[in-house]
Amino acid sequence: MARKFIDNQPSVSAADEQEYLELCKQPRIPGRDGGKLAAVKLYQERTGCGLVEARDYIEQLCVKNGLTSADASPSPAGVAGTGEPRRSSPFSVWLMVGVALIFLLWWLLHS
């Protein structure tokens, strides 16, 4: 449920708003600040508001400035949510093959 917090939030300078928008445009890479999460954290630190209020403010700010979810915080290739299939590691494939073989041997010995 979207709530409008922009009008009810503490006054934010235009420079701060621009900084939040620039953070939203950066890709979110694990282990590095960037993306909407960084903008929410920064807004939360500066205003002292709660997480929900900060998130809603940043979302509304992005909508107000025409940032779509495709523009804001793009995910790196191969990450969940990008539409690309997740690739299994070779270890997990061999593990599944090994478990299948053990089950097959057990079934052959006990039938």
- How do residues 2-14 score in pLDDT, each as one tens digit? 444 455 556 778 8
Give the pLDDT score at 98.
94
- How do residues 18-74 score in pLDDT, each as one tens digit? 888 888 887 766 656 567 888 888 899 988 888 899 888 888 888 888 876 555 554
For residues 73 and 21, the answer to whether their CB atoms sit within 8 Å is: no
Give the pLDDT score at 109.
94
Give the pLDDT score at 31.
59
Distances (CA, A) of 51 to 37, 54, 108: 10, 5, 57
Give the pLDDT score at 68.
65
- Which residue is listed with tokens 């070779």? 90
- How do residues 83-111 score in pLDDT, each as one tens digit? 556 666 788 889 999 999 999 999 999 98
Quick one: which of 81, 88, 63, 84 has its CA closest to 27? 81
Q: pTM, whole model, 2 decimals?
A: 0.52
* Calculated CA dihedral for residues 67, 69, 71, 75, nearest 10 degrees: 150
For residues 75 and 28, the answer to whether their CB atoms sit within 8 Å is: yes
